[in-house]
A and B are shown apart, each in its own frame.
Chain A
């Protein structure tokens, strides 16, 4: 019974909202689709900010997902466009395919190098964390020793 009352309530609220919406006048001055997508680098103005492990890992995830450059991308479009694109691809293949292969080889090496650097960074951050903890423990010990030395005096 309580659920039924609640349902009627919601229907009533929605009915009032729809009625009110009918009375509203809204003309969008500009459509979102018409706003240009700005060419923003993903690390825009960020060269001076602090190192962010999360950002570095996310960028590396993206690089690991897209290092391979296949010569043949899926061609979308109408049948004529597809045919012309396939033809152009076939004509360019003797020069295009080896170039894509060279780029892929370089990307694979660069990606592997960056993955190794990331391993080093993580290791270094872990060591730094351990050192900070040890320093904190030693500082606490020193404070306690000073306290006991002060009491004895």
Chain B
């Protein structure tokens, strides 16, 4: 029996690709070998178990395919043609309307992604969703197969790497650093982060700094609009867009942050809030989509996008040491629930019966 994971693109350092590699690893830990096939494979990926889709051997009905859906692709409409048993891992597709003003290509890609998701509703034996929010998306789209929830497998070991020293030195200058990490994209609502920050700096801390980390590829005009907005608010000197930076620099920003502020309007899981918890950075987040379930009780959840409560929350976490300690303890507890051991145990629970359930299978 062959076990393969299938996706359109295996990128280097991308959350979906990392998730696939982690699943490969956890199957190997259970003595089960598997491979990953993708239409496009980043040449920087040196993993021996990653191959191009064109090299996929014929799949028989006892074989198992784990399909990762996160974007629009022709592959969404071809998956049903494979004869093997099929499972999907659903990472969510951003609603296309967010890109309507900024990038028609991305809008079309997301539209195709959602069409693909609906098209596949009768294709899978079971589906694993990253969050209850994602699970509900699928049920609303007409999925009737079992849809189980298992969080993303996060590579916590990677965060123990040495952070970039120069960034640490530059941003440890006594100024308060407020951080948000996430693609510069309209669904992440970086404008609301800037607005809340502006309210905070005007009322409490004029020297504070807001650091917005994330790639803006495909949303360059949205990034330029955000920069113009910050300038028109008089906060040009306080709002930093580091642009394309290394992983070690990202680690450095987490280590020098005093608070993490997330105002996203659409998230399927939100890995950065977990990263912030890992680095003991107090999390303040808008309670939308999958964010409240990812944060749990380890952060302050805001009811809406109004800047005043966000600013008051920022001031509270930055000035109240006892509150920060309590939040760090709650984060520690939440991190245990999202640890590699806990999440991989959950995924094994879901996948192993399927792996071992085929006729004549020895796993």
**B229 contacts chain A at the CB level, 8 A cutoff:** yes
**A129 contacts chain B at the CB level, 8 A cutoff:** yes
Chain B, residues 16-54, CB within 8 Å of chain A (1/0): the string is 000000000000000000000000111100000000000
Overall SS of chain B's interface: helix
Q: Interface residues of A toward B: which range? A: 35 or more
Contact partners of B106 in chain A: CB under 8 A: 62
**Contacts A26-B307, A63-B105, A122-B40 hold; do A14 and B300 have CB atoms under 8 A apart?**
yes
70-128 of chain B: CB within 8 A of chain A: 71-74, 101-106, 108-109, 112
Size of the B side of the interface (Cβ < 8 Å), in residues, is 54
Asked if A55 and B217 sit within 8 Å, CB to CB, the answer is: yes
The 9 closest A-B pairs by CB, nearest first: A62-B105, A20-B312, A32-B191, A21-B308, A26-B199, A21-B309, A21-B312, A38-B224, A40-B221
Asked if B220 and A40 sit within 8 Å, CB to CB, the answer is: yes
314-355 of chain B: CB within 8 A of chain A: 315-316, 323, 326, 330
Asked if A65 and B225 sit within 8 Å, CB to CB, the answer is: no
Minimal Cβ-Cβ distance residue in A for B326: A9
**A78 contacts chain B at the CB level, 8 A cutoff:** no
From A17, A38, A118, A126, contact of B225 by CB (8 A) = A38
Whole-angstrom distance from the CB of A128 to the nearest CB of chain B? 8
From A6, A14, A22, contact of B330 by CB (8 A) = A6
Minimal Cβ-Cβ distance residue in A for B43: A125
Asked if A54 and B11 sit within 8 Å, CB to CB, the answer is: yes
From B11, B108, B203, contact of A25 by CB (8 A) = B203
Minimal Cβ-Cβ distance residue in A for B220: A40
From A22, A40, A126, contact of B224 by CB (8 A) = A40
Asked if B315 and A20 sit within 8 Å, CB to CB, the answer is: yes
Whole-angstrom distance from the CB of B111 to the nearest CB of chain A? 8
Minimal Cβ-Cβ distance residue in B for A66: B108
Asked if A30 and B203 sit within 8 Å, CB to CB, the answer is: no
